[in-house]
């Protein structure tokens, strides 16, 4: 009997909870835990579907772009096609960011920079010259819009870490950027759906 009541209660909680938390919220929390290719692919699709029914919010498109960008980093042979999709999504997301919202715009430019960077890393020899400077330009813009954006700080560190010392790479500087990013990652996000991904990647570098 008790079991049934507990089950019913649990089910009730589950269903109401399900009804209360928005699908976006659910997907964002899944993204925070995502690690595998399949998980990112599933989320990319989920966010894209959410975007298709929500023509006003920049976040679903933004997150779809983030997932496709992640996939581009994970699958070098498909990176160019994936980054093209991510770029299309982030451009659409940018148009939906309310005017004057520099923090959100910084998130957009950070992802734009990540997308270009995924193109560089897909084939540094053929793409580096073309996309490296664009990635740098977007990152500079993001850093200027919001100097405390942890994802921009992390990307800055990532680039410094992977560039040989002679050409401006600096592993110590990279470490400093990672720890600075970590401090900001440790602040609670502005909302449950505000950009908050990247913490785990950054943690790994420290």
Partner 1 sequence: MKTFCLLCLTGLLATYNANAQQIIGRVTDKSGRGLEGASISLIGTADGATADSTGRFRFGTASHPPYRLTVSYIGYKTTTADASAGSEIKIVMGKDPSTLQPVVISAGAFSAGDKNKGAVMTAMDVVSVAGNGGDVANAARTLPGAQQIGEREGLFVRGGAGSETRQFVDGTLVPSPYFASMPGLPQFNRISSPFLFDGIVFSTGGYSAAYGQGLSGALILETQDLPEKSSAVIGISPMVAVAGVQKLAKNGRSSLGLSTRYMTWHYYAKAVPQNPEYATGPAYSITEANYRQRTGKTGMLKVYANFGYHQAELYREDIDSAALLNRFASTDRNLYLNISHRSRPGKNYRLDLGAALNYNSADISRGMVNRDKTTTHPEGPVFAGKFSEYRSRERSLQGKAVLTRYFEGGHLVLAGAEAQIGEMDELYAGFAEGEWRLHHAVALRTGARWEYSRLSGKGNIAPRVSLAVRTGTYSQINAAYGIYYQQAERRWRMEEPSLPQAKASHYILNYTRKENGRIFRAEGFYKQYDRLLKTYPSTNMSGSGYANGLEMFWRDKKSVPNFDYWISYSYLHTRRDHLDYPLPLQPDFAAPHTLSVVAKRFFEKISTNVNVSWSLAAGRPYYDFTPDHQIRQQGTTRAYNVVNLGFAHMLSLFPKWKQKDFTVIASGINNVLGTRQVFGYDFSYNGQTKSPITLPATRNYFIGIFMSLGIDRTEDYLNDNL
Site residues (CB under 8 A) for partner 1? 1, 4-5, 7-8, 11-12, 15, 23, 37-38, 41-42, 44-46, 48-50, 52-54, 76-78, 81-82, 85, 120, 123-130, 132, 162-167
Q: Which is nearer to partner 1, 33 or 99 (CB)?
A: 33
Nearer CB in complex with partner 1: 110/127:
127
Q: How far is the CB of 48 from partner 1 (least distance, A)?
A: 6
* Residue closer to partner 1 (CB basis): 33 or 125: 125
One-character DSSP codes across the chain: -HHHHHHHHHHHHHHHHHHHS-HHHHHHHHHHH--SHHHHHHHHHHHHHHHHH-SS-SHHHHHHHHHHHHHHHH-GGGHHHHHHHHHHHHHHHHHHSPTT-HHHHHHHHHHHHHHHHHHHHH-HHHHHHHHHHHHHHHHHHHHHH-TT-HHHHHHHHHHHHHS-GGGT--HHHHHHHHHHHHHHHTSPPSSTTS--TTHHHHHHT-
> In the bound complex, what is the minimum distance in angstroms from residue 135's beta carbon to partner 1?
13
Which of residues 98 and 167 has its CB atom nearest to partner 1 in the complex? 167
Residue 99 vs 165, nearer CB to partner 1:
165
Nearest distance from C-beta of residue 130 to partner 1, angstroms:
7
* Closest approach of partner 1 to the CB of residue 121, in Å: 8
Give Cβ neighbours of residue 199 (< 8 Å, ≥ 6 apart): 32, 150, 182, 185
Cβ 43 to partner 1, closest distance in Å?
9
- By residue count, the chain amounts to 206
């Amino acid at each position: 009997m008790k079991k049934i009541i507990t089950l019913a209660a649990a089910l009730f909680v589950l269903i109401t909870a399900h009804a209360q938390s928005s699908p976006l919220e659910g997907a964002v929390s899944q993204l925070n835990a995502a690690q595998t290719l399949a998980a990112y692919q599933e989320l990319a699709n989920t966010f894209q579907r959410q975007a298709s029914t929500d023509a006003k919010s920049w976040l679903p498109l933004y997150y779809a772009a983030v997932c496709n960008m992640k996939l581009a980093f994970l699958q070098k042979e498909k990176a160019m096609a994936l980054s093209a999709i991510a770029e299309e999504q982030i451009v659409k997301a940018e148009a939906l960011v309310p005017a004057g919202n520099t923090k959100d715009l910084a998130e957009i430019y950070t992802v734009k920079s990540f997308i270009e960077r995924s193109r560089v890393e897909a084939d540094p020899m053929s793409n580096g010259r073309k996309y490296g400077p664009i990635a740098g330009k977007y990152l500079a813009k993001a850093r200027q819009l919001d100097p405390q954006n942890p994802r921009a700080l992390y990307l800055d560190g990532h680039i410094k870490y992977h560039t040989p010392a002679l050409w401006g790479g600096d592993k110590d500087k990279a470490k400093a950027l990672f720890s600075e990013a970590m401090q900001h990652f440790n602040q609670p996000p502005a909302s449950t759906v505000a950009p908050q991904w990247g913490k785990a990647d950054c943690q790994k570098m420290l």
